[in-house]
Chain A
Amino acid sequence: MAAILVVDDSTTMRQMVAFTLTSAGHEVVEAPDGNKALGIAKQRKFDLVITDVNMPGMNGIDLVQGLRELPDCKFIPILVLTTEAGAELKAKGKSAGATGWIVKPFNPEVLLDTLKKVLD
């Protein structure tokens, strides 16, 4: 059981991820964009963050950088869940501090396996 912050501008996608995670017994907090996610992350601790890249306001890469600057989020795993699969963007994400990169559409089982790996 882990506390997970899910960041995506699409309500449907957030619900999909939240459904998958809550079914596995995790606690999920949702945020529609990077700025709100950063605000939530400042208020409480999370065990893991899953974020999209293309979002209004602050994008996913900037959010990863912002989260890494927070003391509570410095060492937690951050997964990027996006439709983008370009090597350049992946490199940007990695240098920003992302732990993993999952390309949409995700398989719920694969997502849960990945979560287990990064949480262990």
Chain B
Amino acid sequence: MKVLRFKLYAYRNRLVPMFVLVMIPWLAVAPWAPWWAISIAMPLLFICAALLFVHVLPTPSMTPRATDVGTLTEAEVLRMRRNPDQNAQQLLARWAMMTRDSKLQLEEVDQHVSEVMNHAESAVVEIGRRFVEVTRKTRKQVELAVGLLSRTGGEEARATGQALDSLTDYINASDALLKNLGEQLLALGEQLANLAARQEAVREDSKRIDGALDQLAALASEIRVLALDSSRRGGTDNRAFVEMTDRVRALSLTADESSRAIRKTLEDIKAQAGTTDTAIRALAKQARDAGRTSAQEVTELTGATLRKTQEVHSALGEIGALGERIQDDINQIVIELQFQDITQQKLQRLKQPMISELASSWLSMFEETRAFNRKLSATAGDAVEAPATPFRVSLKKSPEAEKRAPEADRKSPAAGKDPKQDAERPRDDGSKVELF
């Protein structure tokens, strides 16, 4: 029965998982099994589990673990007091084992905390580095964007000595170019108009030539008539005079023919001049219209470009405002990261003293137990006859224990008997061995 109790106590944390494990196959089959099979299987299952627990599961070692409650029965305490030295040695061994285990656990915890802190540190450093990069890139972008509108192209352009023209300059230059083109077209139109005026003058000249030729023809006719009259009046007396009149007549014929040819040529010129004049006038009109249209379009284009520039300018202003907001966010992140860092620093400051304190605590417990061992050895004879009281080992002083402490001191056979031994008892510093 005692073994069963001990087994139940030793396996108290595993009983539920073991029961669940045993139940799993039964639960898996239950939906398909008939009701009578289930009603038979259920009690059998509990019987099998009990048999398994009693006969199959090994009985654990009798040495209690660190987590066990150090409550012993009266008989065990009496037995321990009959052979105090051996039992105290066992107690010391248990304490030593517990201390060693705790030390290993503490070292593991310390290692884990250090790892976590290192991870946090490296993560924060990486985040900080990335933020610096982002900020640098954003600043460069803004500089380039602003450089489009300002005179220079930012720090990079200044560093290389290459000053880029701004967008505004480009727009102004384009405007000037187009205006110049328009002016040139207008000038061309004017020149063509002048050409047309000159053509008009040529036409006037040709009219005058026409008049002169008419006069020449009339003159030639008069010469011919004169020549005929002279020959009729002169008769045949004067042979030389006749020859002269023949010559004059021939001359007049030639002049007439020439005047006809000139007239024909002038008529051709007049016709050509008329055609050219019409073409030049049309060209001049076209050029003038093109110039006016170009100038109007350039003005409209310039206005639109300037409006666009204003839009770009306001967009850049918004980008700047956003940049300031980003800066505020980054400031906030910097503050948050400091909170993390401060917490980490505090944790680091806390870590080492905490571990030292724990180690000291365990050491004092060990010393206390050793003192107890000495005391137990010294009072072994009295203890055998002493009334049996529960023997309790507690890591911390509970309020109940504090309440009982004076009473226990009063009841203890050692209390008040040997002040020297009382003086050897360690002072209470959070960990305590109490004998009730």
Residues of A within 8 A of B (CB): 10-13, 15-16, 19-20, 23, 54, 83, 104-109
Contact = CB atoms under 8 A, between A and B. Distances in A.
Interface residues of B, number: 22
A104 B338 contact: yes
Interface string B109-141: 000000000000100110011011001000000
B125 A11 contact: yes
Given A19-B132, A20-B334, 8 more contacts: A12-B124, A12-B340, A19-B128, A54-B345, A83-B345, A105-B342, A106-B335, A107-B331
Contacts of B124: 12
B214 interface: no
A83 B334 contact: no
Contact of B331 (A10, A11, A13, A109): A109
Contacts of A83: 342, 345-346
Contacts of A16: 128, 334, 337-338, 341
7 contacts: A10-B345, A12-B341, A16-B337, A16-B338, A83-B345, A107-B331, A108-B330
B13 to A, nearest CB: 42
B339 interface: yes
Interface in B118-170: 121, 124-125, 128-129, 131-132, 135
B233 interface: no
Interface in B311-342: 330-331, 334-335, 337-342
| Max count, chain A CB within 10 A of own CB: residue among B331, B340, B341 | B341
A79 B236 CA distance: 146
Contact of B125 (A12, A54, A109): A12
Contacts of B121: 11-12
Nearest to B136: A23
A6 B125 CA distance: 17
A23 B341 contact: no
Nearest to B343: A83
Chief secondary structure at chain B's binding surface:
helix
B172 to A, nearest CB: 34
Interface in B162-201: none
A10 B346 CA distance: 11
Given A11-B125, A12-B121, A15-B125, A105 B335 contact: yes
A108 B132 CA distance: 14
Given A12-B124, A12-B125, A54-B349, A106 B338 contact: yes
A70 B214 CA distance: 121
Contacts of B334: 16, 19-20, 108
B289 to A, nearest CB: 59
A118 to B, nearest CB: 20
B327 to A, nearest CB: 9
A30 to B, nearest CB: 13
Nearest to B340: A12
A100 B132 CA distance: 27
A10 B335 contact: no
Given A13-B341, A54-B349, A107 B335 contact: yes
A78 to B, nearest CB: 20
A17 to B, nearest CB: 9
A91 B349 CA distance: 23
A13 B132 contact: no
A81 to B, nearest CB: 10
Nearest to A9: B345
A109 B334 CA distance: 11
| Max count, chain A CB within 10 A of own CB: residue among B135, B331, B338 | B338
Contacts of B132: 19
Contacts of A107: 331, 335
Contact of A10 (B131, B135, B341): B341
A23 B135 contact: yes
A10 B341 CA distance: 8
A15 B131 CA distance: 11
Contacts of A20: 334
B331 A15 contact: no
Nearest to A81: B338
A107 B132 CA distance: 17
A105 B344 CA distance: 13
B343 to A, nearest CB: 10
A8 B235 CA distance: 147
Contacts of B342: 83, 104-105
Contacts of B344: 10, 12
A13 B128 contact: no
Given A107-B331, A108-B331, A15 B338 contact: no
A27 to B, nearest CB: 16
